[in-house]
Amino acid sequence: MTGELDGRVVLVTGAARGIGEAIARRFHREGATIIAIDRDERGLEVLADALGSRLRPVAVDVSDHDAVQEGIPRAIADAGGAVDVCVNNAGVFGKAPLLDITPAEWDHVLATNARSVLFVIQAVAPVMIRAGRGRIINMASMAAKVGTPGEAHYAASKAAVVALTRVAAMELGPSGINVNCVCPGYVLTEMGADTRTPEQVAAWTAGSPLGRLQSVADVAGVVRWLASDEASPCTGQSINVTGGMVMH
């Protein structure tokens, strides 16, 4: 894959921290121009200071349809009018007992984690269709496949991403666009940090045949592969990055 990304444009949502930041840094290191989307303006400034001229920070709330339809096409135009890879990574975590989830909590998690994926695909796919090629990679979770008590709204949002990925792959494939998603397991990022205890981390680690949790670099590596020419036969897939905790 050496040199494959030179001159390519990669759009990453939720790029200011965590998995999104790791993905942005990985693609940037290999020569891509990064359109970094996040609503955290300060986080984007820090990332831009670190990565320099090939990082184009754009403050957009991806759950806002109008903001996406205005901000993302403008960012693509400013980057030269093309986007080769889109990584829908923006997300929030939600934790509450099933019977206590409020309509506002449900709507917030579903809007950020699932509805935003639709909005961003609608913004980038026309550019890819005109080019006759593209890669769209959506961030789901192993919660989409197994769920966890207390996380019904989070699991539902990520299952929606898996289903949306399949349909998008069917509809966009004839235009040369591959659409896949990644289902990480337990990755110790800032998101949801207040829900963890040392005992939970130890139990999660013991649940993996590999005996370790996943890192942001692990996830970024799989995303990078899905964006490569080597992954051209793959579309509509939901790839686990769980250390074997989920095998289906």
Structure-block tokens of residue 240: 């686990």
- Given 154, 177, 223, 238, the catalytic residue: 154
Q: 168 — phi, psi (to 5°)?
A: -60, -40
Are 224 and 26 in contact by the 8 Å Cβ rule? The answer is yes
∠ CA 187-64-43, nearest 5°, is: 45
Catalytic status, residue 186:
no
The residue whose two tokens read 């090629």 is 133
Q: Which of 20, 51, 11 is nearest to 189 (CA)?
A: 20
Calpha distance 139→91 (Å, rounded): 8
Cα of 14 vs its chain's centroid, Å: 7
What residues are labeled active site?
154
